[in-house]
Amino acid sequence: QQQVKQSPQSLIVQKGGIPIINCAYENTAFDYFPWYQQFPGKGPALLIAIRPDVSEKKEGRFTISFNKSAKQFSLHIMDSQPGDSATYFCAASGGSGNTGKLIFGQGTTLQVKP
Amino acid sequence: ETGVTQSPTHLIKTRGQQVTLRCSSQSGHNTVSWYQQALGQGPQFIFQYYREEENGRGNFPPRFSGLQFPNYSSELNVNALELDDSALYLCASSLGGGMGTEAFFGQGTRLTVV
């Protein structure tokens, strides 16, 4: 119930392509869904986050789509660039006594080819 | 770059030893969470400190302990180190007990146990 399942494990796209990373969760008490970007040797950096009262959120080239009934959410990266090559993690938090603990997916390694 | 700083950046310890990792939270944040990230995995929640009290704990043994100081900086202590404790240890800073609020990560401490 506490898991967040992320797919695919790895992804290769050409520059300008639109990689899509998907996550699914079980716990309907989750109410906060952030995405993080992590470069090798660095800590995760918050990219964008969504709450279940909206179905889509855009910030720059990053868009989250959220499907509450399916308990799924996804990250789209528009006009991807080689500098976007990194590992992306979805996460979720919320529910009684959760204290804001983030449950992370397993990560997706993205490579954007020039 | 976030305002969360961790020290040291790298550390090598021998099995059975004890280690202390440190984290300075972002200005204005009163909540610090610690995560363990094994190679190729998503971060796993260890525990959270809010206003100097432990405010939630993940599935980690008691030899993982922590402290939060009046200035909201924090320490993670690990006793009786095991080889499996080798990982990137991440500190995340947030506000108000962390409930559904943005969490910002430091660059991490890479611990190697030999």
Ramachandran class of B30: left when φ > 0, alpha when ψ lies in -120 to 50, beta otherwise: alpha
Is there a contact between B103 and A43 (Cβ–Cβ < 8 Å)?
Answer: no
Looking at residue A96, its amino acid is: S
Is there a contact between A9 and A21 (Cβ–Cβ < 8 Å)?
Answer: no
pLDDT of residue B101: 73
Q: What is the pLDDT of residues A68-108, one digit of tens each?
A: 999 999 999 999 999 999 999 999 998 766 667 899 999 99
Residue B103 to residue A34, Cβ atoms within 8 A = yes
Residue B103 to residue A31, Cβ atoms within 8 A = no
What CA–CA distances, in Å, run from A16 to A11, A83, A112, B58? 14, 12, 9, 40
Residue A106 to residue B44, Cβ atoms within 8 A = no
Q: What is the pLDDT of residues B26-50, one digit of tens each?
A: 888 889 999 999 999 999 999 999 9
User: Looking at chain A, how many residues does it have?
Assistant: 114
DSSP string, A58-105: EETTEEEEEETTTTEEEEEETT--GGG-EEEEEEEB-STT-TTPPEE-
pLDDT of residue B109: 97
- Residues with Cβ within 8 Å of B94's Cβ and at least 6 positions away in sequence, in order, are A100, B29, B31, B33, B101, B102, B103, B104
CB distance from A7 to chain B under 8 Å?
A: no
- Compare CB distances from B100 to A32, A45, A105 and report the shortest one's residue: A32
To probe the interface with A, which of B89, B105, B107 has the most A CB atoms within 10 Å?
B105
In whole angstroms, what is the distance from residue A75 CA to residue A77 CA?
Answer: 7
- Compare CB distances from A94 to B33, B55, B100 and report the shortest one's residue: B100
Residue B33 to residue A102, Cβ atoms within 8 A = yes
In whole angstroms, what is the distance from residue B59 CA to residue B40 CA?
Answer: 19
Q: What is the pLDDT of residues A62-73, one digit of tens each?
A: 999 999 999 999
DSSP designation for A15 = T
Distance from CA of B99 to the nearest CA of A (A): 4
**Encoded tokens for A45:** 């950096």
> Residues of chain A with pLDDT > 90: what percent?
82
Q: What is the mean pLDDT of chain A?
A: 93
Q: How many CB pairs under 8 A join A and B?
A: 81
Counting beta carbons within 10 angstroms of the beta carbon of residue B70, is it exposed (0 to 12), middle (13 to 18) or buried (19 or more)?
exposed
Residue A102 to residue B44, Cβ atoms within 8 A = no
- Checking if the pLDDT of B9 tops 80, the result is yes
Residue B58 to residue A32, Cβ atoms within 8 A = no
pLDDT of residue A113: 97
For the segment B68-74, the average pLDDT, to the nearest whole number, is 94
Q: What is the pLDDT of residues B78-113, one digit of tens each?
A: 999 999 999 999 999 988 765 667 889 999 999 999
pLDDT of residue B29: 87
pLDDT of residue B91: 96
Q: What is the pLDDT of residues A1-51, one digit of tens each?
A: 678 999 999 999 999 999 999 999 999 989 899 999 999 989 999 999 999
